[in-house]
Amino acid sequence: MVKKILCSIVNFISVVIIAAAVVILIMVLFTKPGKPPSIGGFTLLRITTGSMAPTYDVDTMILVKETDPAKIQEGDVISFYSSDPALDGAVNTHRVVSIEKATDHYVYTTKGDGNNVVDAYNVDSQYLIGKVTWSSVILGKISRLVSNPLIFIPVILVPLAVILITNFVSTVSLAKKIAREEEEAAIKEAVRQMREKKEKEQDV
């Protein structure tokens, strides 16, 4: 009983890992070069600095939804391509503290919740990725761990491969057992029919 429960748990974890890998692969395949992986207007990012603490601590996974620049409001947390030369166009995630409307675009002044001053460089709406709609510290930490090859290979990939191979062998063994049982049943049925036929001939 305990063995079955453990196998069920391990199989569930395997399915989750495989599903996550497939989702990430799809996101990467359908994303334009130079942009973070996204699908259906949603992007998964991981917080890498403490500038948004305590709202989003380091390694927090955030879900960013592509949003119309006109719908961004003060107080929203947005992800964007930074104009700060020190960040070299890297993705940044900060809170909007003020908005200016230009002729055909918007300019956002942003600030990290953990920073004392606003960002030195404003954000033009053309560099907006979207608005943060969801976050998870646990998934973020898992993401950081599995992104490390030294951890991913021995802790995730090898056990997963063992599980898949074990399940494959079990499936093949079960298929052989079923085939053998069906064959034995067929032989027994043939023998039974032959005996009945012989008995009828003897009665005649």
Torsion of the alpha carbons at 71, 75, 77 and 82, rounded to the nearest 10: 90
Could you tell me which residue, 147 or 104, shows the higher pLDDT? 104
Q: In sequence order, what are the residues at sequence separation of 6 or more whose Cβ sits closer than 8 angstroms to the Cβ of residue 78?
A: 64, 67, 72, 93, 94, 95, 96, 108, 110, 123, 128, 129, 130, 131, 132
Q: What is the mean pLDDT of the chain?
A: 82
Side-chain-side CA neighbours of residue 78 (13 Å): 32
Is residue 100 over pLDDT 70? yes
Point out the least confidently predicted range of 14-23, 47-56, 88-97, 188-197: 14-23
Q: What is the pLDDT of residues 25-55, one digit of tens each?
A: 565 555 555 567 777 889 988 899 999 999 9
Q: What percent of the chain has pLDDT over 70?
A: 76
Residue ranges of domains in the chain: 1-30, 39-145, 148-204
pTM: 0.67
Is residue 59 over pLDDT 80? yes
Q: What is the pLDDT of residues 169-199, one digit of tens each?
A: 777 887 788 888 888 888 888 778 888 777 7
| Burial of residue 38 (number of CB atoms within 10 Å: 0-12, 13-18, 19+) | buried
Is residue 161 over pLDDT 80? no
Closest by CA to 47, choosing from 56, 39, 38, is 56
Closest by CA to 60, choosing from 132, 152, 117, is 132
Point out the least confidently predicted range of 4-8, 9-13, 51-55, 88-92: 4-8
39-145 has CATH 2.10.109.10 classification:
yes
